[in-house]
Amino acid sequence: MSETNVIELKNVTKRFGDVVANDNVNLTLRKGEILSILGENGSGKTTLMNMLSGIYFPDEGTIRVNGKEVLIQSPRDAFDLGIGMIHQHFKLINILTAAENIILGLSGSVRLNMKEVEKEIDELTSKYGFDLNPSQKIYSMSVSQKQTVEIVKVLYRGAEILILDEPTAVLTPQETDKLFDVLRSMRDNGKSIIIITHKLNEVLEISDRVSVLRKGKYIGTVDTCDATQESLTEMMVGEKVSLDIDRSKPENVERRIEVRGLNVRNNEGYHVLKDISFTANAGEILGIAGISGNGQKELLEAIGGLQNIESGEILYYTKHDGNVIEKLHQMEAGDIFDLGIRLSFVPEDRLGMGLVGSMDITDNMMIRSYKKSPGIFTDRKAPHKLAGDVVEKLEVVTPSLETPVRRLSGGNVQKVLVGREIASAPRVLMVAYPVRGLDINSSYAIYNLLNEQKRAGACVMCVGEDLDVLLSLCDRILVLAGGRVSGIVNARESTKEELGLLMTGGKENA
Amino acid sequence: MSKQNNTSGRTVIHMEKRNSISRKKAWTIRLTAVLLSLIVCAIVIVAITKQNPLQVYAGIIQGAVGSKRRIWVTVRETVILLVIAVGLVPAFRMRFWNIGAEGQILMGGAASAALMIYLGNKLPLPVALILIIAVSAVAGMLWGIIPAFFKAYFNTNETLFTLMMNYVATQIINFLICIWENPKGSNTVGVINSKTKGGWFPKVFGSEYGLSVLIVLVVTVLITMYMNYSKHGYELAVVGESTETARYAGINVKNVIIRTMCLSGAVCGLAGALIVSGASHTISTSTAGGRGFTAIIVAWMSGSIQIATQFGLNENASDIITGILLFFLIGCEFFVNYKLSVYKEKEA
The domain locations on chain B are 1-51+318-348, 78-311
pLDDT at B131: 95
pLDDT digits (tens, 9 = 90+) for A38-51: 888 778 888 899 89
Measured from the Cβ of residue A267, the count of other Cβ atoms closer than 10 Å reads 8
Within an 8 Å CB–CB cutoff, is residue A339 touching chain B? no
Look at A356 and B4 and tell me if their CB atoms are within 8 Å: no
Read off the pLDDT of each residue in A416-434 and give the average, rounded to a whole number: 92
Bridge pairing between strands A309-317 and A325-327: antiparallel
| Cα four-point dihedral sign B172, B178, B179, B183 | positive
The alpha-carbon gap from B300 to the nearest alpha carbon of chain A, in Å, equals 17
Chain A contacts of B19, Cβ < 8 Å? Answer: 16-19
d(C-alpha A360, C-alpha A178), whole Å: 44
Handedness of CA B311, B313, B318, B322 (dihedral sign): positive
Please check the confidence at residue B42 and state whether its pLDDT lies above 90: no
Q: In which band, very low, low, confident or very high, does the pLDDT at B181 lie, cut at 50, 70 and 90?
A: confident
pLDDT at residue B316, rounded to an integer: 40
Contact B258, B151 (CB under 8 A): no
pLDDT of residue B348: 38
A457 in the Ramachandran plot: left (φ > 0), alpha (ψ -120 to 50) or beta? Answer: left
Is residue A262 packed enough to be buried (19+ CB in 10 Å), middle (13-18) or exposed (0-12)?
buried
Contacts of A332 in chain B (CB under 8 A): 247, 250
Q: pLDDT higher for B282 or B73? A: B282
Look at residue B345 in the predicted model and tell me its pLDDT: 55
Amino acid identity, position A23: D
User: A475 and A491 in contact (C-beta within 8 Å)?
Assistant: yes
**Residues A253/A283, Cβ–Cβ less than 8 Å:** yes
Q: For chain B, how big is the Rg over CA atoms in Å?
A: 23
pLDDT of residue A87: 86
Flag the least confident range among A119-128, A263-272, A325-334, B300-309.
B300-309
- Residue B247 to residues A297, A378, B256: CA-CA distances in angstroms? 15, 19, 11
Domains, chain A, with CATH or none: 5-237 (3.40.50.300), 254-505 (3.40.50.300)
Q: Do B14 and A371 touch (CB under 8 A)?
A: no
Contact B344, B11 (CB under 8 A): yes
Average of per-residue pLDDT values in chain B: 84
Alpha-carbon gap, residue A293 to A477, rounded angstroms? 17
Q: Of A170, A178, A195, which is closest to residue A39 (Cα–Cα)? A: A195
Residue A90: predicted pLDDT: 83
Provide, rounded to the nearest whole percent, the portion of chain A with pLDDT above 70.
97
| In the predicted structure, residue A508 carries a pLDDT above the cut 50 | no
Distances (CA, A) of B194 to A500, B117, B197, B275: 86, 11, 5, 16
Q: How far apart are CA A233 and CA A243, in angstroms?
A: 9
Lowest pLDDT segment from A121-130, A346-355, B68-77, B172-181: B68-77
Cα-based distances in Å from B102 to A439, B21, B163, B166, B186:
53, 36, 9, 6, 24
Residues 6+ apart with CB under 8 A from A452: none
Interior angle at CA B207, CA B203 and CA B209, nearest 5: 85
Q: What number is the average pLDDT over the span B111-133?
A: 93
Residue contact A376–B248, C-beta within 8 A:
no
Measuring CA to CA, how many Å separate A38 from each of A28, A200, A230, A235, A466?
14, 8, 13, 9, 17
Tens of pLDDT along B205-262?
888 888 999 999 999 999 999 999 999 999 999 999 899 999 999 999 999 999 999 9
From chain B, the residues in CB contact with A378 under 8 A are 229-231, 233-234
Beta strand A459-463 with A476-481 is unpaired
Q: Give the residue from chain B lying closest to A363, CA to CA.
A: B234
Q: How far apart are CA A71 and CA B179, in angstroms?
A: 72
Specify the pLDDT at position B301: 66
Average pLDDT over residues A408-416: 84
Read off the pLDDT of each residue in A498-507 and give the average, rounded to a whole number: 78
A68 touches chain B (CB under 8 A): yes
pLDDT on residue A339: 85
Among A305-314, A338-347, B317-326, name the one with the lowest average pLDDT. B317-326
* CB < 8 Å & 24+ apart, contacts of A246-251: A246/A448, A246/A451, A247/A451, A247/A472, A247/A473, A247/A475, A248/A451, A248/A454, A248/A455, A250/A281, A250/A283, A250/A284, A250/A454, A250/A475, A251/A283, A251/A455
Query: CA torsion sign, A21 to A26 to A30 to A34?
Result: negative
A431 vs A320: CA distance, rounded Å = 23
Whether residue A169 lies within 8 A of chain B, CB to CB, comes out as no
- Classify residue A334 by its DSSP letter: H
For residue range B262-272, list pLDDT tens digits in order: 999 999 999 99
Which of B298, B318, B296 has its CA nearest to residue B101? B296
Q: What pLDDT is stored for residue A356 in this prediction?
A: 92
CB contact under 8 A, B245 and A353: yes
Give chain A's length: 510
- As beta bridge partners, residue A163 has A85, A194
Q: Does A342 touch chain B (CB under 8 A)?
A: no
Chain B residue numbers touching A18 (CB-CB < 8 A): 19-20
Nearest to A283, CA basis, from A248, A318, A321: A248
Which residues in chain B have Cβ-Cβ distances shorter than 8 Å to A335? Answer: 250
Question: What does the pLDDT read at residue B318?
Answer: 53
Strand A309-317 versus strand A254-265 pairing type:
antiparallel
pLDDT at A92 over 80: yes
Among A4-13, A301-310, B201-210, the range scoring the smallest mean pLDDT is B201-210
- Per-residue pLDDT for B136 more than 90? yes
Round to whole Å and give the CA distance between A375 and A391. Answer: 28
Cβ-based neighbour number of residue A109 at 10 Å:
6
State the smallest CA–CA distance between residue B186 and chain A in angstroms.
51
b/e per residue B111-124 (b: at least 16 CB within 10 A) = bbbbbbbebbeebe
Question: Is the CA virtual torsion B284, B289, B290, B292 positive or negative?
Answer: negative
pLDDT band at A485 (very low <50, low <70, confident <90, very high): very high
Average pLDDT, chain A: 87
Residues sharing a CB contact under 8 Å with residue A407, sequence separation 6 or more, in sequence order: A399
pLDDT higher for B36 or B337? B36
Pick A354's closest partner by Cβ from B6, B12, B248: B248
Backbone angles phi, psi at B91, to 5 degrees: -65, -40
Residue B42 CA: distances (Å) to CA of A65, B59, B93, B317, B328: 51, 13, 37, 14, 14
Which pTM value belongs to this model?
Answer: 0.75
Query: What is the tens place of the pLDDT at every residue in A242-260?
Result: 667 888 888 888 889 999 9
- Per residue in B53-71, pLDDT (tens digit) is 788 778 777 777 778 888 8
Q: Would you call A381 an interface residue with chain B, using a CB distance cutoff of 8 Å?
A: no
Q: For A278-292, A399-413, B119-133, which range has the lowest pLDDT when averaged over its residues? A: A399-413
State the burial class of residue B4 (Cβ atoms within 10 Å of its Cβ: 0-12, 13-18, 19+).
exposed
State the pLDDT at residue A343.
92
CA of B248, closest CA in chain A: separation in Å? 6
Q: What is the DSSP letter of B182?
A: S
- Residue A473's nearest CA partner among A510, A503, A433, A505 is A433
Reply yes or no on whether the pLDDT at B311 is more than 80. no
| pLDDT (average), residues B149-154 | 95
Q: What percent of chain B has pLDDT over 90?
A: 47
Chain B contact present for A371, CB below 8 A? yes
pLDDT at residue B307 above 70? Answer: no
Answer yes or no: is pLDDT of B305 > 70: no
Check if the beta carbon of residue A429 is closer than 8 Å to that of residue A452: no
pLDDT at A364: 94
- Would you state the pLDDT for residue B166? 95
Per-residue model confidence (pLDDT) at position B259: 96
Among chain A residues, CA nearest to B20: A17
Above pLDDT 90, what percent of chain A? 40
Which of A57, A333, A377 is nearest residue B230 as measured by Cβ atoms? A377
CA-wise closest residue to B265 among B105, B133, B109: B105
Give yes or no for residue A469 having a pLDDT over 70: yes
A352/B242 CB distance under 8 A: yes
Q: Which SS3 state, helix, strand or coil, does residue B38 take? A: helix
Residues recorded for chain B: 348
Torsion of CA A495, A496, A498, A500, to 10 degrees: 170
- Band (pLDDT 50/70/90 cuts) for residue A211 is very high
**Residues with Cβ < 8 Å from B183, sequence gap 6 or more?**
B190
Lowest mean pLDDT among A337-351, B128-142, B230-244: A337-351
pLDDT higher than threshold 70 for residue A83: yes
Count other Cβ atoms within 10 Å, centred on residue A340: 7
**Which residues in chain B have their CB less than 8 angstroms from residue A338's CB?**
250
Query: Is residue B321 over pLDDT 80?
Result: no
The mean pLDDT value for A380-391 works out to 92
Q: Which residue from A76, A80, A353 is facing B248, i.e. has the nearest CB?
A: A353
Measured distance CA(A7)–CA(A27) in Å, rounded: 8
Q: Phi and psi at residue A357, in whole multiples of 5°?
A: -60, -35
> In the prediction, which pLDDT does A320 show?
60
Q: What gap in Å lies between CA A167 and CA A86, rounded to an integer?
A: 8
Determine what percent of chain B is predicted with pLDDT higher than 70.
Answer: 86
Rg (CA), chain A: 24
CB contact under 8 A, A333 and B241: no
Interface of B with A (CB under 8 A): 1-2, 4, 6, 10, 12, 14, 16-20, 229-234, 237-238, 241-242, 244-245, 247-252, 343, 345-346, 348
Which is it for strands A83-86 and A161-165: parallel, antiparallel or unpaired? parallel
* Cα distance between residue B269 and residue A288, in whole Å: 54
Per the CB < 8 Å rule, is B245 touching A368?
Answer: no
pLDDT value at residue B310: 36
